[in-house]
Structure 1
Amino acid sequence: MTYPVTELKASQNTPLEEMPITQHLVILRKHLFKSVALVVGLFFCLLPFANETYQILSEPLRAQLPSTSTMIATDVTATFMAPFKLNFFVALMLAMPFVLYQLWSFVKPALFEREKSLAVPLLLGSIVLFYSGIAFAYFIALPSILHFFISVSPETVAPMTDINSYLAFCLKLFLVFGFTFEIPIITLILILIGVVSTQTLVEKRRFIIVGCFFVSMFVTPPDALSMIMLAIPMWMLFELGLWAGILLEKRRERQQTD
C-alpha cells in the first residue's frame, strides 16, 4: 500500500498523538529503506575487494602460523562464501552510523528538547565506542589469543584453520568486544533514567567486577587469557561510565542549587 509524497510531508508536521499508526509505519519504512539501500550499495561496491578484505582479516592468524602451515577450506563453497559473508559484515559496520542516524530521525520527534540534547552525544559516543571495541579486538585481543592457542598446540599437530571457522571466530570476537565497549553508555543511561544511582554502583562495585569476569567466561573462548582480556576492559569501561555519571549528578546538584 503506497501513500502520496504530500501525505508523508504533511505527517512530519502533525503532532505525534494525532498521527495514525499507519503514518508511523510509512515513515519507519522510509528510514528502513534508506538504511537497507546504503548497506546493499556498500556491499556491491566492496564485493570486488572481498578477497583482499579477507586477507586483512586473516593477517593476525597467518602471522602466527608456522611456515609449514596454511589456512584451509573444508567446503567447496568456503572460498567464495567466507569472503562474501565478511563483505556483508564490513558493509553493515560501515553503514552503522547512517543506520543509527535513520533510527534517531524516526525517534527524534517523540523526544523532549532535554532528551534530544542528551541523546545526540550518547548516540555519537556509542558509535565511537563500538568501533573502538572492534579495533581493540582486531589489533590487541585477536593476535594475543591466536598466539596463545598456537603456542600451546602439541608439536605433532600442525595448526591449519578452516577459513569459515576463523571467520565465525573473528566475527563473534568483534561483536563481543564491540558491545562490551558500550558499557559506559549503558551505565550512563541507567543513571540518567533513575534505574540506579552512582552511590548504589559504588557500593556494588565488587559484585560488578566479579560479574565482569563471570560474563567474560561464557562469551569468550575457553582460556584464561581471553577471559582476562575481556573482563578487565569491561571493568575499566564500567568505571568510566560511573565516573561520567558522578560528574552528571554533581552538575544536576549545582543546577538545582542555582
Structure 2
Amino acid sequence: MPGNADHDRGGEDSHLFDHLLELRSRLLRALAGFALVLAGVLPFANRLYARLAQPLIDKLPEGAQLIAVEVASPFFAPLKLAVFVAMLVSMPWLLYQLWAFVAPGLYKREQRLAMPLLLSALVLFYAGCAFAFFVVLPSVFGFLTAVTPDGVAMMTDINAYLDFVLVIFLAFGISFELPVALVILVLLGWVTPAQLREARGYAIVGIFVLAAIITPPDVISQLMLAVPMILLYEAGIWAARMLSPNAVDARAGPDA
C-alpha cells in the first residue's frame, strides 16, 4: 500500500540520517583527538626536527650542516614534522573511531578477525617507521656521504631532508603491512596459502622491483626494504595458513 511504502521510505531515510550523524560524531572526535595531540607536540617541533636530523648530522663531514634555502623553511619544516608526528601518535585513536563506526555492521566472527588485523597493521606500520629511522637512515646517509665527490660540500636543505625522510617512513611503514594484506586476500578467498607459496619466486622479483622504485637510488636502501619484505611475505603465508580454516567457516554464514 502507498502508506506502507511511504512509511518504509521514511524509516530508511531516518536510518540513513542516524548513520550520517554517527559518522559526523566520529569524525569530530577523531579531529578533536588529533588537534589535542598536535597542540601537545607543537611546542617540541624544533626538538623533534633536531632528533630527526641526527642520522644525517652524525654522517656529515666535519663543518657540514643542514641549511634553510627558503626564508620560511625554519618555520614550516618543523611544523610539517609536528603534524606528521601528531598523526602517528593519534593513529590508535583515529582507527578506534573508524572501528567504532564500522564494527556495529559486522558479524561477530568478522569483528573477531578484524580487530587483530587492525592492531597488527598498526604495530607493523610503527615497526616499519622505527626500522627506517634506526637502521635504514644511518646506513643510507653513510653511503651517500661516502660517495660524495671531492670538492662537493654536502649541505642539505631542511625541507628537502624532511620530505626525503617522510617518504622513507611511509615507504617502509606501508611495506611492512604486507602480512596483513596477504591475510586479507586469503580471508576474502581471492588466493590460498598454497598459491602464495607457489608464487614466492614471482613475489620476490616483484618485491625487488618495488624496492627499487620507492627507495632512493642506492643498493643499500633497496636491500634493506626488500629483505624485510621477503621475510614478511613468509610471515604472511604462515599467518594466512593459520587463519584460512576460520575464513572458510566465516564465509559459511554468521550463525554457522
Partner of 2:162: 167
SS at match of 1:20: helix
Partner of 1:180: 175
Could you give the per-residue CA deviations for residues 130-155 of structure 1, whole angstroms, max 9, x where no partner exists? Answer: 10000000000111111111110012
SS at match of 2:58: helix
Match of 1:228 among 212, 223, 229: 223
Could you give the per-residue CA deviations for residues 64-113 of structure 1, whole angstroms, max 9, x where no partner exists? Answer: 00111010000010001000000010001100011001000000011001
Match of 2:193 among 176, 198, 211: 198
For residue 97 of structure 2, what is the amino acid of its counterpart? Q
Using a 3 Å threshold, how does the CA distance of structure 1 residues 17 and 174 change in structure 2: closer, same or farther?
A: farther
CA deviation after TM superposition for structure 1 residue 25, in Å: 1.5
CA deviation after TM superposition for structure 1 residue 226, in Å: 1.5
Could you give the per-residue CA deviations for residues 157-212 of structure 1, whole angstroms, max 9, x where no partner exists? Answer: 11001000000000000011011111111111111110100111111110011000
Partner of 1:121: 116
Partner of 1:24: 19
Count the aligned residue pairs: 241
For residue 248 of structure 1, what is the amino acid of its counterpart? L
For residue 244 of structure 2, what is the amino acid of its counterpart? E
Using a 3 Å threshold, how does the CA distance of structure 1 residues 162 and 253 change in structure 2: closer, same or farther?
A: closer
Q: Conserved in 1, the CA contact under 8 Å of 2:187 and 2:247? A: no
CA distance in structure 2 between the partners assigned to 1:252 and 1:88 by the alignment: 38
CA deviation after TM superposition for structure 1 residue 20, in Å: 3.0
Partner of 2:73: 78
How do 1:46-195 and structure 2 match up within 5 A?
A: 46-195=41-190
Identical counterparts, % of pairs:
45
CA distance in structure 1 between the partners assigned to 2:63 and 2:75 by the alignment: 24
For residue 194 of structure 2, what is the amino acid of its counterpart? Q
SS at match of 1:68: coil
CA deviation after TM superposition for structure 1 residue 250, in Å: 5.8
CA distance in structure 2 between the partners assigned to 1:238 and 1:141 by the alignment: 19
Match of 1:219 among 214, 220, 227: 214
CA distance in structure 2 between the partners assigned to 1:175 and 1:147 by the alignment: 21
Partner of 1:208: 203
Using a 3 Å threshold, how does the CA distance of structure 1 residues 251 and 209 change in structure 2: closer, same or farther?
A: same
CA distance in structure 2 between the partners assigned to 1:19 and 1:191 by the alignment: 37
CA distance in structure 1 between the partners assigned to 2:133 and 2:220 by the alignment: 15
When normalised by structure 2's length, the TM-score is: 0.90
For residue 74 of structure 1, what is the amino acid of its counterpart? V
- Runs of 4 or more off by more than 6 Å in structure 1? 251-254
Using a 3 Å threshold, how does the CA distance of structure 1 residues 21 and 253 change in structure 2: closer, same or farther?
A: closer
Partner of 1:11: none
CA distance in structure 2 between the partners assigned to 1:253 and 1:80 by the alignment: 54
CA distance in structure 1 between the partners assigned to 2:182 and 2:248 by the alignment: 19
Using a 3 Å threshold, how does the CA distance of structure 1 residues 71 and 153 change in structure 2: closer, same or farther?
A: same
CA distance in structure 1 between the partners assigned to 2:173 and 2:248 by the alignment: 33
CA deviation after TM superposition for structure 1 residue 42, in Å: 1.2
